């Protein structure tokens, strides 16, 4: 389906449309990595990891089998199209949230469009670290509501394992992250009760030094950080600072979004949150007095899967019938940048 045509004079007619989730899908790589596997590679223990993070296992790509950000993104979008009973040619645009593109050029989204057989539609990589998927949902909503597009695939895919060091030097980060992809398809609908209720997108570039991946030994290490060849192309994180930031920001941005929507925490059926640390998630759950079922946690099985984290949760929740049409659902994320944001929907 081609984008909505411009009316004479070149101005797009903004339609009165709702936006709905037409389908979801996800993909995990083939290689499970349990805490006990990591014990063999570095000085750590299953007990330490579970106590500090809630993670028991995660999956990482096996590159010898051709697994990568692109392959996971392709599989997840194929699954979402099947779920939506749509063909690749029905899509108008692809937004691929990733911070682990195959290369800096071309955008991985272009190869994704080609892999699934979507022809020459627009395809963009969105880089907002762990917030990429939530930011992209908000952007896709705006593009559909404006009348420019009718069917947009929003995909989150990351393979951060390529920037991790599975030994003692990287033990504070390699235990946290896993690889995955998740996809959803947003479509215009005549039912105007469906769509975005409220949203937030924030960043604080002053805090970039708390979570970064240096590309160059000479230029990318901030003052006070010891530069070395071993750290180049490896995740650098101030875990304690990020933890503190996350606990406060997470609750703050949820409250701001509820206030903007004129809702209470209980009015939202499900909180689909970025999985960074089980302690951060349970702190938010306690802060809003939510029962266990209303803020989903799967970090124990998959770790922190960066931009794939939120759509992977959504796919699991949809498949198990816990998220369905008619509900109010809030998506929440934070991450490198530093960035944080929400997307609150009437499904
Ligand atoms: N196994 C065992 N010990 C480890 C370890 C590991 N895998 N990683 C670090 N340690 C050690 C540290 O070296 C330190 O030892 P020291 O006291 O002798 O120096 C000790 O454990 C405590 O380290 P610290 O970093 O203070 O632990 P912590 O309680 O803050 O937990 C994190 C570390 C990373 C789990 C935690 O800070 C966290 O989750 N932060 C948020 C990270 C995040 O969410 N990032 C993604 C954002 S999208």
**Residue to mutate (ligand 1; options 239, 240, 244; most atoms within 8 A of CB):** 239
8 A C-beta contact, residue 24 and residue 186: no
Name the residue with the closest Cα to ligand 1, atom 46. Answer: 276
Ligand 1 nearest atom to the CA of residue 177, by list position: 46
CB-ligand 1 contact for 335 (6 Å cutoff): yes
8 A C-beta contact, residue 60 and residue 302: no
Tell me the per-residue pLDDT of 253-302, one tens digit each, with 9 for 90 and over.
Answer: 999 999 999 999 999 999 999 999 999 999 999 999 998 899 999 999 99
Instruction: Please state the φ and ψ torsions of residue 116, each to the nearest 5 degrees.
Output: -85, -10
Tell me the per-residue pLDDT of 115-135, one tens digit each, with 9 for 90 and over.
Answer: 999 999 999 999 999 999 999
The CATH fold of domain 1-347:
Peroxisomal Thiolase; Chain A, domain 1 (3.40.47)
**Residue to mutate (ligand 1; options 172, 178, 212, 283; most atoms within 8 A of CB):** 172
Positions marked active-site: 130, 274, 304
pLDDT at residue 19, as a whole number: 97
- With a cut of 60, say whether residue 1 has pLDDT above it: no
Q: Is 193 exposed, middle or buried (CB count within 10 Å of its CB: 0-12, 13-18, 19+)?
A: exposed
State the average pLDDT for the chain: 95
- With a cut of 60, say whether residue 194 has pLDDT above it: yes
Tell me the per-residue pLDDT of 3-40, one tens digit each, with 9 for 90 and over.
Answer: 555 555 666 666 789 999 999 999 999 999 999 999 99
Q: How far is the CA of 239 from the centre of ligand 1 (A)?
A: 6
CB-ligand 1 contact for 172 (6 Å cutoff): yes
How much helix, strand and coil, in percent to the nearest 5, is found in the chain?
40, 25, 35
8 A C-beta contact, residue 158 and residue 182: no
CB-ligand 1 contact for 166 (6 Å cutoff): no
- With a cut of 90, say whether residue 222 has pLDDT above it: yes
Q: How far is the CA of 70 from the centre of ligand 1 (A)?
A: 30
8 A C-beta contact, residue 23 and residue 155: no
């Amino acid at each position: 389906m081609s984008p909505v045509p411009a009316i004479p004079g070149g101005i797009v007619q903004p339609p009165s449309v709702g936006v709905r989730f037409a389908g979801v899908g996800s993909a995990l790589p083939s290689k499970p990595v349990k805490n006990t596997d990591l014990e063999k590679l570095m000085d750590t223990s299953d007990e330490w990891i579970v106590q500090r993070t809630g993670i028991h296992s995660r999956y990482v790509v096996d590159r010898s089998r051709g697994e990568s950000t692109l392959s996971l993104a392709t599989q997840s979008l194929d699954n979402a199209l099947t779920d939506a009973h749509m063909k690749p040619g029905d899509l108008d645009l692809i937004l691929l949230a990733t911070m682990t593109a195959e290369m800096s050029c071309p955008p991985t989204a272009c190869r994704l469009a080609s892999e699934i057989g979507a022809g020459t539609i627009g395809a963009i990589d969105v880089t907002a670290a762990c917030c990429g998927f939530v930011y992209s949902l908000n952007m896709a909503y705006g593009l559909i509501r404006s009348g420019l597009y009718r069917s947009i695939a929003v995909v989150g895919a990351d393979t951060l394992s390529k920037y991790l060091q599975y030994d003692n030097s990287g033990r504070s980060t390699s235990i946290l992250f896993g690889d995955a992809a998740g996809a959803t398809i947003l479509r215009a609908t005549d039912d105007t009760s469906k769509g975005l209720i409220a949203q937030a997108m924030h960043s604080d570039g002053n805090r970039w030094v708390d979570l970064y991946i240096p590309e160059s030994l000479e230029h990318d290490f901030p003052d006070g950080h010891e530069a070395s060849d071993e750290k180049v192309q490896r995740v650098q994180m101030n875990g304690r600072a990020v933890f503190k930031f996350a606990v406060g920001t997470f609750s703050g941005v949820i409250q701001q979004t509820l206030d903007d929507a004129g809702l209470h925490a209980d009015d939202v059926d499900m909180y689909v949150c970025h999985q960074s640390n089980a302690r951060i998630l349970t702190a938010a759950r306690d802060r809003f007095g939510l029962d266990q079922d209303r803020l989903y946690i799967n970090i124990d099985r998959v770790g922190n899967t960066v931009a794939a984290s939120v759509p992977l949760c959504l796919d699991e929740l949809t498949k198990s019938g816990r998220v369905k049409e008619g509900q109010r659902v809030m998506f929440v994320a934070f991450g490198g940048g530093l960035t944080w944001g929400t997307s609150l929907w009437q499904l």
